[in-house]
Amino acid sequence: MFMQPYAIEFPLRGEWSAPQSPGDKVPSHGTELFGARYAYDFVKIEWDSKIPRFYRTSVLEYLLFGVSLKDCYGWGEGIYSPFDGIVVSTYGGVKERDPVRIISDLKYQNKTNNDIRKGIINIENIAGNYVIIRNNEDIYGLFAHLKHNSILVKENERVKAGQKIGLMGHSGNSMAPHLHFQLTDSSDYTTAKGIPCCFKALEYYENGVWTTKYNTIPKKNDRIRYNGIENPIGKHR
């Protein structure tokens, strides 16, 4: 089933990077657990700096003191459904760690991973605030690490492709404000199997120009953008 990547719309708007992607390795997150075999992480970064970073302050300030969520580029960005479907489950009550600090975030990650190894599974501790949507082919999309109290849809609500469903955040097992996105064959993440997906239309910045490509899987070094229609920004330029 679904040996070829399943083509969907991109769930974000504007420019993004994909630091963890099945375009680079499978399983993309180093595990088959929770249906994450083909999962993506999407982060907004400053491409034009010597060291691409997800925050507006200096690298030294981030390492020493952390950075406020409001100083992170992706925090609060809209997240959109990539297909028509029905909302299966949501949770929006997980508070975010502010400021974003590498030491405290690593401690959280280590504790969460240790709990998983012990068989202690808490979806909110892992995914933070999340939305799960099922389409008419019984494919489930998980959108994780959303902003606290930002979810705009409710369970059993019908949604359309391109409908805003929430805002990007830094909840759960997260090292920076980002969207963890994956497709699976079930909403039961103790048994779910990942489904590979590609994106119907994205623009890639290569050799100083933006070029639209279709049905692609972005990799970690790709600079991509999308504005919400199949031919994303218009003419190639």
Q: Would you state the pLDDT for residue 177? A: 98
Q: Which residues pair with 65 in a beta bridge?
A: none
Q: Would you state the pLDDT for residue 93? A: 97
∠62-142-88 over CA atoms, to 5°?
Answer: 135
Short-list 32, 30, 9, 8, CA closest to 19 = 30
- Residue that has been written with the tokens 């959109």 in this structure: 80
Please give the backbone phi and psi of residue 20, each rounded to the nearest 5 degrees, phi first.
-125, 120
Cβ partners under 8 Å of residue 135, min gap 6: 83, 84, 85, 141
Domain range summary for the chain, segments of one domain joined by +: 14-197
* Entry pTM: 0.94
Each residue of 138-152: pLDDT tens digit? 999 999 999 999 999
SS3 assignment, position 104: helix
Q: Would you state the pLDDT for residue 97? A: 97
Q: Would you state the pLDDT for residue 230? A: 60
The CATH class of the 14-197 domain is mainly beta
Structure tokens at 170: 């830094």
Question: For the chain, which residues score pLDDT lower than 70?
Answer: 1-3, 229-237
Q: Would you state the pLDDT for residue 232? A: 56
Q: Would you state the pLDDT for residue 49? A: 85
Each residue of 35-48: pLDDT tens digit? 999 999 999 999 98
* Cβ neighbours of 207 (radius 10 Å): 5
- Residue that has been written with the tokens 């030294």 in this structure: 60
